[in-house]
Amino acid sequence: MFQELNVKINTKAKIKQEIATLIEISEDILQKLIDDTDDSYWGFDEFIDASNDVMERISNVVGFDIAEDEQWSGYTNNATPEEICKYNIIRLQRFRESTFVD
C-alpha cells in the first residue's frame, strides 16, 4: 500500500512538473514569436518542432488528443500562433488548478 501511494505521489509531482515545463516552453515560444520581427522563427524548423512537441506533450498530460478536442481545436484552428501559445498557457494553468488543489 505504501508503495502504491508513493507511486501516485511521484506521478502527481511529475505531472505538475510537466505542466510547469510546458507553460515555460509555451511562454518561450510566445516570446520568440513576439520578437520575430523578420519572420525568421515562425514557420521554420525550430518553431514547428517546438510547437509539435508541446502539442504532443500537452495531450499526454491532459489525457486526450488536443488536436481532436472540439473546444481546443475549435479555437486554435482560427488563431494566430501567438494566440495559440496564450491559449495553451491558459488551458494548462486551468488544468493545473482544477486537477491539483493543494
Measured CA to CA, the distance from residue 41 to residue 85 in angstroms comes to 14
Q: Is the Cα torsion angle 8, 14, 18, 20 positive or negative in sign?
A: positive
Q: Which residue has the higher pLDDT, 2 or 30?
A: 30
Whole-number mean pLDDT of the chain?
Answer: 86
For residue 3, what pLDDT is reported? 46
Predicted confidence band at 10 (pLDDT cuts at 50, 70, 90)? low
pLDDT at site 2: 39
Q: What is the pTM of this model?
A: 0.81
Q: Which residue has the higher pLDDT, 48 or 99?
A: 48
Across the range 78-84, mean pLDDT stands at 92
Find out whether 14 and 22 touch, Cβ atoms under 8 Å: no
Angle between helices 45-62 and 2-35 (to 10 degrees): 150
Over residues 79-100, the mean pLDDT reads 91
Distance CA 33, CA 79 (A): 14
What pLDDT does residue 13 have? 83
Per-residue model confidence (pLDDT) at position 6:
43
Burial class from Cβ neighbours inside 10 Å (0-12, 13-18, 19+) for residue 21 reads: middle
